[in-house]
Amino acid sequence: MAYPKLTYYKYFALLIMVLSGCDSNESLSLSKKSIIYCSEGPPESFNPQTVSSGTTIDATSNQLYNRLIEFNPTDNSIIPAIAKSWHVTRDGKMITFYLRKDVQFHHTSYFMPTRALNADDVLFSFNRMLDENHEYHPISGGKYPFFQNSQLVNLINSVEKINEHTVRFQLSHSDSSFLATIGGDSAVILSKEYAEQLIALNAMQEIDMLPIGTGPFKFKQYSAGSFIRYEPHPDYWRGMSELKQLVFDITPRDTGRLTKLLAGECDVIAYPIAHKKIAQHPNLTLESVTAFNVGYFGFNTSKEPFNNPLVRKALSYAINKPAILEAVYTGQAEIANGLIPNSSWAYDATIPSQVYSITKAKELLVQAGYSNGFSMDLWAMPVQRAYNPDAVTMAKLIQADLQKIGVKVDIVSHYEWTTFLRKISEGEHQSVLLGWSADHPDPDNFFSTLLSCSSAITGSNITFWCNEKFDQLIQRALQTNNINKRKVYYSKAIKLINEEFPLIPIAHSKRYQARANNVNGSLLRAIGGIDFNGVTKN
């Protein structure tokens, strides 16, 4: 069935209505089969290809979109999604995906698809990110952090359409993390047909703000900074959700989220506080999962005095990690002895733990030429994340720690989250408390994303540390499928980090979530964010 295209002016009239919340007078009261999720912040975009923040990933990836493959939430193994199966050649350089048929895109007030998903949509989604000459590449700034940090531009030679439901990736070389990479939250499939409609309407930028996907929910309304409203996708290939609506109620303050949960105004909340109170409440459940994440204290190595490794190392001795874990994580985390948690197959238990020593820290500062100390700024995140639930408190503890070695710390915490991220990606900071939640279980997702030379350019390596030896180690790890060899390379990479200290890993946290007892289903993931597919409410 063909649908008439909107005229340019009608389109923008509709756009204004949607973005401004034309039905803002409509009550947010929901039926018993609807869920309100109180989230910690607003999304930067509605396309997870273009961002790296967990807040945006949570709000979009699993709710609106699908990927070719994904991870089993139980054991993190790779399982089919839009691709029902795949084949990898013996040399590892050619991967063929066989797509499901009859995977439908969302029908919304701003787009009516005329066909199901096919190979053209896969090519469009990947080529937009990979090809700088692609007409959609520069839209929304032309940055695709996850893909660029993963160096997929250099890895993927071509994405080829074999037939309507078969796609082949030609790689420049074998890469043992490739399947895990494209199973990540950012590797979503968009609609080429929708993209073509937007070109005709001269409104290409809306592809990232008025989303069309194949996921379990479709976009209904966004009231900026207030709430997002989703409706179930009736033609979802895994079956229509039993929920009538899914609302992300944006509630930045943790006390506000707890109050709403206790009052029944939220069904599920992100990053709950007062764990004991929630656990003892008869109508609430507190859940946790050990997450693939790391919270860290990072230095801008392009600026003095942090361009001196001795200074960075000195500060690493002065940080009292056990005290931070108790005060910030209330003991619900593990001390990070490296980038990756001990649940990763690449973890090396033989690497010695960082020693806490004020004496050693002072000695190193003298060697570095800062016997009288110095002043520095420390940027603290304005939001709670699983890897750091209270960055301001952590900053105050570090401030007290560093005062003991003559280093004066000024805490910067007044920026709104998206401004904060933009400014540190542009290198305005001296040091920062940030972190990372892995998109997929392969260890490369920590190493390349946080500390590779390429990620220093694309913005996720906020230390701007670029070490040729480190890059060679992580590249060699990707060139072999021999897991024992990969372990050796990653162990050497961890030791190099612990010599240079572009960042100080602080903690691997557990991720918590609180819900009303009448909400059923699996929500929390060790890898990636929250997923409301299959969730029901009594």
Per-residue pLDDT for the chain (538 aa), expressed as one digit of tens each? 333 333 333 443 444 344 444 444 444 445 678 999 999 999 999 999 998 778 899 999 999 999 999 988 776 778 999 999 999 998 889 999 999 999 999 999 999 999 999 999 999 999 999 999 999 999 999 989 878 877 788 899 999 999 999 999 999 988 888 998 899 889 999 999 999 999 999 999 999 999 999 999 999 999 999 999 999 999 999 999 999 999 999 999 999 999 999 999 999 998 898 988 999 999 999 988 778 899 999 999 999 999 999 999 999 999 999 999 999 988 789 899 889 988 788 889 898 888 999 999 999 999 999 999 999 999 999 988 879 989 999 999 999 999 999 999 999 999 998 899 999 989 999 999 999 988 778 888 899 889 999 888 877 899 999 999 999 999 899 888 778 899 999 999 999 999 999 999 999 988 789 999 999 998 887 776 789 999 999 8
Q: How many domains does the chain have?
A: 3
Whether residues 302 and 368 fall in one domain:
yes
**Rounded distance between C-alpha atoms, residue 510 and residue 334, angstroms:** 8
Does residue 10 fall inside a structural domain?
A: no
* CA 302 to chain centroid: 25
**Token pair for 368:** 């570095």
Does residue 206 fall inside a structural domain?
A: no
Whether residues 59 and 85 fall in one domain:
no
Does residue 16 fall inside a structural domain?
A: no
Q: What is the dihedral of CA 403, 405, 408, 411, to 10 degrees?
A: -60
Instruction: Say what the pTM is.
Output: 0.72
Domain boundary among 192, 223, 239: 192
Whether residues 348 and 402 fall in one domain:
yes
Give the CATH number of the domain where residue 335 resides. 3.10.105.10
Give the CATH number of the domain where residue 169 resides. 3.90.76.10
Whether residues 299 and 433 fall in one domain:
yes
Whether residues 122 and 110 fall in one domain:
yes
Whether residues 485 and 366 fall in one domain:
yes
Does residue 55 fall inside a structural domain?
A: yes
Which residues constitute the domain of residue 96?
66-192
**Rounded distance between C-alpha atoms, residue 502 and residue 483, angstroms:** 26
Whether residues 178 and 317 fall in one domain:
no
Whether residues 246 and 367 fall in one domain:
no
CB count in 10 Å sphere of residue 400:
12
Does residue 450 fall inside a structural domain?
A: yes
Gyration radius of the chain over CA positions: 23
Does residue 122 fall inside a structural domain?
A: yes
Whether residues 337 and 466 fall in one domain:
yes
Whether residues 366 and 301 fall in one domain:
yes
Whether residues 305 and 371 fall in one domain:
yes
Whether residues 406 and 528 fall in one domain:
no
Does residue 269 fall inside a structural domain?
A: yes
Does residue 21 fall inside a structural domain?
A: no
Identify the three-state secondary structure at position 51: coil
